[in-house]
Amino acid sequence: MKLKKAIIPAAGLGTRFLPITKAVPKPMLSVLDKPTIQYIAEELSSIGIEDIIIVVSPGSDVIKNHFGRYLELEKRLLEDGKTKLYEILCDTQKFNVQFVVQEVANGLAGAILCAEPFVKDEPFALLLGDEIIYAGENDKPCMKRLAEIFESTGKSVIATMEVFGDDVSKYGNIGIADEKDGVMQVNAIVEKPSVNEALSNNAIIGRYVMSGEVMGMLKNLTPRGNEIYLTDALDILAERGDLLASCFDGIRYDVGDKAGYIKANVEYALRSKEIGEDIKNYIKELAEKI
């Protein structure tokens, strides 16, 4: 079945980035010159997804504005013959984005459920709003790999990366029953396990393709405290043998975390034609001093 829709939950409180996130939603923090949410939406172009649902917190007009038009500036840039800047300005108009507000930040699954009226029982791509996955020229984009696996098997599939040592405790962790051609059959999930409890060295990251039944499963899950957990739905799928996982090419940046955010900025700056050389020289000079 062809994947047509994507959900980007971007309504978290962003507490790790206070005070900037008091007035600026975390997905609008910029890596080089682009907000993280735009990089994430761009990942979807590799699979031709047109309909994107962004789940935002109340008062996140700045995200809506970013995907909307800026008529006055468009006109000015055209009049001045600044076509390159005009293209940059209008780049987000290629996305067909709908917004839904998550009134109360009651967790990731709560955010996904806000998109239910748009997705209904169709399969959907899910891209967390605080991770960017960079694919180099020869890399197959992560979402493309997941979409291909979903479309050939019909099963939900999650992206995974290898982690070692204490890092296993930072992520959801998967048990692997079998692996063929890089596609893993997941048989269990543990949330942030201790090093001894970990089932494998494979962590769950923020890219998923969920089959059409997942939205219904989320609706029927019993909340734990005030929240329902996506992991509880993934658990059911894993037990039934209906959850797959795959590693991916490229580099994952955790831009929801301060260190990850700075690293992303440094690496994107180094790749930039405009300032890459300058930044490389600066880093070399700095490295000699520290």
Closest distance to ligand UTP from the beta carbon of 57 (Å): 7
Residue 110 touching ligand UTP (CB under 6 A): yes
Residue 106 touching ligand UTP (CB under 6 A): yes
Range in contact with ligand UTP (rule: CB under 6 A) among 104-112, 155-163, 193-201, 207-215:
104-112
Q: List the one residue from 28, 37, 113, 129 that touches ligand UTP (CB under 6 A).
A: 129
How far is it, in rounded angstroms, from Cα 280 to Cα 208?
Answer: 34
Residue 38 touching ligand UTP (CB under 6 A): no
Q: List the one residue from 1, 13, 195, 283 that touches ligand UTP (CB under 6 A).
A: 13
Residue 26 touching ligand UTP (CB under 6 A): yes
Pair of tokens at residue 114: 């806000």
How far is it, in rounded angstroms, from Cα 27 to Cα 9?
Answer: 10
Residue closer to ligand UTP (CB basis): 108 or 168: 108
Cα–Cα distances in Å, from 235 out to 4, 101, 127, 191, 239?
Answer: 25, 27, 19, 10, 6
Range in contact with ligand UTP (rule: CB under 6 A) among 6-14, 90-98, 191-199, 276-284:
6-14
Residue 55 touching ligand UTP (CB under 6 A): yes
Residues paired with 257 in a beta bridge: none
Residue closer to ligand UTP (CB basis): 18 or 287: 18
Cα–Cα distances in Å, from 178 out to 172, 183, 194, 275?
Answer: 18, 8, 23, 45
Q: 219 phi and psi, to 5 degrees?
A: -65, -30
Please tell me the chain's helix, strand, coil percentages from 3-state DSSP, rounded to the nearest 5: 40, 25, 35
Residue 217 touching ligand UTP (CB under 6 A): no
Residue closer to ligand UTP (CB basis): 100 or 168: 100
If phi over 0 gives left and psi between -120 and 50 gives alpha, with beta otherwise, what is residue 107? Answer: left
Closest distance to ligand UTP from the beta carbon of 206 (Å): 7
Closest distance to ligand UTP from the beta carbon of 106 (Å): 6
- Name the one residue in this structure whose structure tokens are 């590693």: 247
Residue 128 touching ligand UTP (CB under 6 A): yes
Residue closer to ligand UTP (CB basis): 10 or 49: 10
Q: Which residue is nearest to ligand UTP (CB)?
A: 12
How far is it, in rounded angstroms, from Cα 154 to Cα 136?
Answer: 28
Residues in contact with 285: Cβ distance below 8 Å, sequence separation at least 6, in sequence order: none
Closest distance to ligand UTP from the beta carbon of 17 (Å): 6
Chain contacts with ligand UTP (rule: CB under 6 A): 9-17, 26, 55, 102, 105-108, 110-111, 128-130, 256
